[in-house]
Amino acid sequence: MVERLLDLVDAGAWHLLPDLYAWDALVELPFAQPAPIRLDGREAIRAHFARVAGRVRLRVIDRHLLETNDPEVIVADYRYDGGPLPTGKRLVVSNVQILRVRGGEIITSRDFHDHVALAAGLAAQAADVRQRRADPHLTAIPTVHLGDAR
């Protein structure tokens, strides 16, 4: 189930992600900025993914799935790589998720993403798009992906 989740993120299939979650699933993002996020139920999760869809293109790299003593609990350790930013840098974001899967559905997930790095990548993307729209000599607006802030 967790591999499927990461595969769908990697494919940019945000609209399919909510179906992996139980109708009463709970997702917590304690490091979200400016405040932690709590998503109660599949419809709240669907709305969250709908807000993300089209704004980011993330590749899932360096996947490590770790089993625990509890057969329902799995820890996913991976990174997002979205490609170059307008600055020429890449923004690679580290992630850890602790998921509980029961009956083939995700029932809980605590997602520890680097939201500060994600926000910086989105801000750089938005600034680049605004600049390109304001300058008539720049004819193409490139697709900018979140990638590594090194």
Question: Taking Cα atoms as reference points, which of 27, 24, 23 lies closest to residue 36?
Answer: 27
pLDDT tens readout for residues 5-45 = 999 999 989 999 999 999 999 999 999 888 999 999 999 99
Domain span holding position 45:
2-135+142-148
Provide the CATH number for the domain around residue 111.
3.10.450.50
**Which region holds residue 101: left if phi is over 0, alpha if psi is between -120 and 50, else beta?**
beta
pLDDT of 139: 45
State residue 109's pLDDT score: 98
Residue 82, sorted as left (phi over 0), alpha (psi -120 to 50) or beta, turns out to be alpha
The structural domain count of the chain equals 1
Tell me the percentage of the chain whose pLDDT exceeds 70. 76
Q: Is the pTM for the entire model greater than 0.85?
A: no
CA atoms within 13 A on the CB side of 139: 0
